[in-house]
Structure 1
Amino acid sequence: MSDRAFAIPETAHDASAFHAHDNESSLLRRRNSSHSQFQWGVYATFLFLGLSMLLPWNVWITATSFFEHRLAGTFLANTFESWFGVVSMLINLAGVFVSFTLPKKFTPPHQTTLSLLTLLLLFLLFSLFSLTSLSGPPFAAFTLLCVLLSSAATALLQSAVFATAATYQPVMAQGIMNGQGVAGAVPAIVQVLIALGAQAGKGQGARAGAGEGERPGAVVGDNALNPVSGLDPIFWYFLLAATLTLASMVLHATYLHPSSFTFARFVSSLRTLFTTEGGAYQALPTTPATSQPSLHSTSPTATTSRPPLRRAIRAVMAPLASAFLIFLVTLSVFPAITAYVRSTAGPGTWKSVFVPVGFLVFCLGDWLGRFLPLFPAFHPPLPSRLLLFSLLRVLLVPLFVLCNVHLLDTLGHPLPRAFPVVIPSDAVFMLAVAVLGVSNGWGGSVAVMAGAEGGAAEEEDEQEEEQTKADAELRGRVMVVGLTGGLLGGTVASFGVRAVVCGCNPF
């Protein structure tokens, strides 16, 4: 594990920063000397930033009954989880690559601030629209636009945050992953409570089970939401998401903003997004980064023989592949398949809350898995073992296919299965969901932590301290590409898994 532990990073890239090498060098040395001091405020900030990264995705996919009601009659009606995933991950992956070309003045603190502000406004806007009667194709277009914008903001956010976390102890990267676990657990808990409230409101035995023509996995009861009982909880649901995003903004401003961050410089950095002044953009490095001025180098000949991007990829190759496989397997079955598993129990409360409880089991397991790396026994294993672990998780896909999955077509009619149900047990399904969640949380966390440590052996020339930090940020951004690529691959693969279950056109 790297023994570098930076305190609050100085990330401003204004012109005066290049004339303050001595001061920055002194600051970096102070950071290096304080590696043994664990900063709970900084860890909490990264935890909330991690929460904000996955909060939009979890908010969209867990409000299933709300979207089922509002999207009725559209092509999204019974496949919106997969389509939300495709739109979200495509934009997310594109945004990650775009983040490599952002202007130098548009630093990670600026990127984080803009992303969180965008998410805050989107959640507030959607909470207000949930109180209207908008539905059908207009609501589908509005929802996809919100998913698209939130995905773009999330891509910018995760690229900036992982780049910043790479300059801290690896445990800060675990804080991000821990926060992502919280982002899954909070919406799931809220939806279970809403489902229980809706079930209690219907009275004893009043249409407690899902009919043959209904979509399994309705989060708020088994019936469509009505304007009285359903919309008010959904309003508070999205308002809660906005509140958590605001909390992330406050923590970020308190603990991670450099002293040079001001509102005026934030506005100025936004203007650089729409200008093409010479040297303004950080294109993907194709020449040695050490040809840039460093803290100690005064000669332009102090260069390295390998491009920094290639070096960063080589340094994190095994964790990168592991992260890709872990999230590909998870997204291929969750939630596109797990949301359609029906309980074999008779009519009652359990049947009506079966799917939201499945969401909660996965999210709690995922959260537990992300928390485990804090303990020595669950620290990152050797890269080869981590890669083997990622490959073994592929066995979970056929396990879920054999469960009591019943898909529906776009009109809500049940689709026949291509083969009989082999695992009808509710308990076995919940156990499989728990294993999927824990393995996803732990595997994803240790892959990111291993990526944060990657390349430490190559950074032996301590005279290039500024370049060391730049390499760490680049490795963080490269890891984000692997994470996002796995999420996108898993979302696309979910259509294939659906086709295997029903033996039909998954679209």
Structure 2
Amino acid sequence: MHERHRPATDTSIDAHYKTIPQAPEDDEGVIPSAAIEEPLDIEDADEASLAGIQHAHPPPVPSRIRWIHFLLGCAVLLPWNVMITATPYFISRLEGSPLRSTFSSWLSTSFTFANFFVLAYATTTAKKASSAKRVWWSTLCLAFLTFLLTLSTYVHLPTGVFFAFVLLNGIAQATAGSFLQTSVVAIASLFGPGVMQAVMSGQAAVAIVVSSVQVVSAATSLHASGELGIANDGLAEEKSAWAFFGLSTIFLVVCAGANVLLTRTPEYQAIVAPLDQSWTRRLSGEFNEPLVSQEVPATLADTKSQILRIARKNALYEFAVAYVFVVTLSVFPPLTISVQPTNPTIHPLLFSSVHFLVFNIGDFTGRYLCSIPRLLIWSAKRLAMLSAARTLFIPLFLACNITRDPSLPSTPPLINSDLLFMLTMLLFGLGNGYVSSLCMMAAGSLEHNPRLKGWKEDVDIAATVASFFLVGGLVTGSMMSFAVRAAVCGCNPFRT
């Protein structure tokens, strides 16, 4: 493979990167597919031998770009956190319904299934539309859907109607969130691993905020009712849900404004806007227009081929990030929310709210650790091993004080301590954030992922494909939660 002669004057985006090896073209300027197929045994190569590969180094990114992506990262995961954190409220509205016992599994499964399939479409069509425009309209859609949840706290619907409303709202949020996720990840990847880490941290930070609001509002409501130690009629859950639904709606509107500010920054105009414009011209048939990068695939068919090629190269990263969430969603929250406090003076609503907060604090801490250079791990094999090791948390949760079917034999829990349960939740969340962030940062990094061979045109695709596998892990884990809960709690997962 020989180096291609580049023009004397590079485009704005090329100026940010070192010269990298390029594939030869045919007479029409198209890269033959055979030229881009590379050996798949790079994982077996010694890491030291890969040090000689010339990597591209992204330019330093201003702090305002990181902060905007931090906010957008909050918006990406806000729908999911709003839905699962509001689980006590949803369950309180299903009192007396046979749907109550399996609501958490139905919610997580319907949400993640919709997220998975729409994300597949959003990933394959990412080059068809402006990422900034997708971020704008999807954020506003999420704000409207969250506002509808706010209104639901004022209206008492029949349990069957309410069940359907919540699931449909969650599916709609998953749909809008899929377009938001692919667009934010694609943009962040072009700015480098540092900005990707900001996105991942934002996803965890919003969970802490939502959980904190829920804990404070739940404690306030229970204190006002004088019922900190006993269950009530769902009024506390309703007030708590109203607070964080309303705040979430306002925050999403703010994120839409932050996206507008991002598109007006010179960094965005230099790095991201040229790629969107060149693809718009290419798809509209203006093939004579000069492209920012001559190596961009010529057709959407080439884009699909590019996606499959990158997916094969990054298989270990994709497995690692997917399995992280397979383990997480198989027990959290469908199983962990069934763990009851061993201290009878603690209200179950407050206990469940705190358990969400503890997990989210651990998740955020794990993602923050990825901003410390000494703690970064780029090896795909090591990340896959760390991901697989999270399986050990499943038997730990099974040993806690889980509410079981009264007809089943009752045995004292091995972990009969609220403090130990919360410590396990903290470590569980920390591993979730740390490993998943490292996988997302490494998958699309030209500097640290030698599988990309310095092809900057593969960066956004590599990041969005890894994001797709992340959601695939969410889907698989949510499906497994039915079996886990049925086996442990003795309930029929498909009972209606």
Q: Same fold (TM over 0.5)?
A: yes
Asked if the contact 2:222–2:228 (Cα under 8 Å) also holds between the matched residues in 1, the reply is no
Three-state SS of the structure 2 residue aligned to 1:336 is coil
Query: Quick one: which amino acid aligns to residue 433 of structure 2?
Result: G
**Counterpart position of 1:208:** 229
Q: Deviations along 1:239-268, whole A, 9 cap, x unmatched?
A: 110111112111111014688x9xxxxxxx
**Counterpart position of 1:432:** 424
Structure 1: how far apart are the matches of 2:318 and 2:410?
35
2:391 aligned with 1:368: no
Gaps of 5+ in 1: 1-20, 210-221, 262-268, 270-277, 282-291, 409-413, 462-467
Query: Quick one: which amino acid aligns to residue 333 of structure 1?
Result: V
2:3 aligned with 1:26: no
Structure 2: how far apart are the matches of 1:43 and 1:390?
27
**Counterpart position of 1:251:** 258
Per-residue deviation, 1:101 = 4.1
Q: Deviations along 1:227-248, whole A, 9 cap, x unmatched?
A: xx65454333211101111121
Per-residue deviation, 1:24 = 10
**Counterpart position of 1:68:** 91
**Counterpart position of 2:471:** 484
Asked if the contact 1:316–1:450 (Cα under 8 Å) also holds between the matched residues in 2, the reply is no
Structure 2: how far apart are the matches of 1:66 and 1:155?
25
In structure 2, do the counterparts of structure 1 residues 294 and 202 end up closer, same or farther at CA, with 3 Å as the change threshold?
Answer: closer
**Counterpart position of 2:327:** 329
2:367 aligned with 1:358: no
Per-residue deviation, 1:353 = 1.9
Asked if the contact 1:86–1:492 (Cα under 8 Å) also holds between the matched residues in 2, the reply is yes
Asked if the contact 1:54–1:183 (Cα under 8 Å) also holds between the matched residues in 2, the reply is yes
Q: Deviations along 1:416-450, whole A, 9 cap, x unmatched?
A: 36865222111211111111010001011101111
Identity of aligned residues (%): 29
Asked if the contact 2:342–2:417 (Cα under 8 Å) also holds between the matched residues in 1, the reply is yes
**Counterpart position of 1:498:** 485
Q: Say how many residue pairs are matched.
A: 431
**Counterpart position of 1:18:** none
In structure 2, do the counterparts of structure 1 residues 202 and 484 end up closer, same or farther at CA, with 3 Å as the change threshold?
Answer: same
Three-state SS of the structure 2 residue aligned to 1:453 is coil
Asked if the contact 2:101–2:491 (Cα under 8 Å) also holds between the matched residues in 1, the reply is no
How do residues 57-456 of structure 1 correspond to structure 2 at under 5 angstroms? 57-102=80-125, 104-203=127-226, 206=227, 208-209=229-230, 222-226=231-235, 231-256=238-263, 295-296=293-294, 307-348=305-346, 353-407=350-404, 414=406, 416=408, 420-453=412-445, 456=449
Asked if the contact 1:396–1:436 (Cα under 8 Å) also holds between the matched residues in 2, the reply is yes
**More displaced, 495-504 or 47-56?**
495-504
Three-state SS of the structure 2 residue aligned to 1:245 is helix
**Counterpart position of 1:457:** 450
Per-residue deviation, 1:114 = 1.6
Three-state SS of the structure 2 residue aligned to 1:89 is helix
Structure 2: how far apart are the matches of 1:377 and 1:24?
37
Per-residue deviation, 1:378 = 1.4
Per-residue deviation, 1:187 = 1.4
Asked if the contact 1:418–1:500 (Cα under 8 Å) also holds between the matched residues in 2, the reply is no
Per-residue deviation, 1:154 = 0.8
**Counterpart position of 2:35:** none
Asked if the contact 1:59–1:238 (Cα under 8 Å) also holds between the matched residues in 2, the reply is yes
Gaps of 5+ in 2: 1-5, 19-56, 269-275, 277-281
**Counterpart position of 1:284:** none
In structure 2, do the counterparts of structure 1 residues 472 and 499 end up closer, same or farther at CA, with 3 Å as the change threshold?
Answer: same
Per-residue deviation, 1:348 = 4.3
**Counterpart position of 1:12:** none
Asked if the contact 1:181–1:367 (Cα under 8 Å) also holds between the matched residues in 2, the reply is yes
In structure 2, do the counterparts of structure 1 residues 308 and 201 end up closer, same or farther at CA, with 3 Å as the change threshold?
Answer: same
Structure 2: how far apart are the matches of 1:386 and 1:109?
31
Structure 2: how far apart are the matches of 1:360 and 1:339?
12
Structure 2: how far apart are the matches of 1:165 and 1:50?
10
Query: Quick one: which amino acid aligns to residue 239 of structure 1?
Result: G
Three-state SS of the structure 1 residue aligned to 2:129 is coil
Asked if the contact 1:343–1:426 (Cα under 8 Å) also holds between the matched residues in 2, the reply is yes
Three-state SS of the structure 1 residue aligned to 2:95 is coil
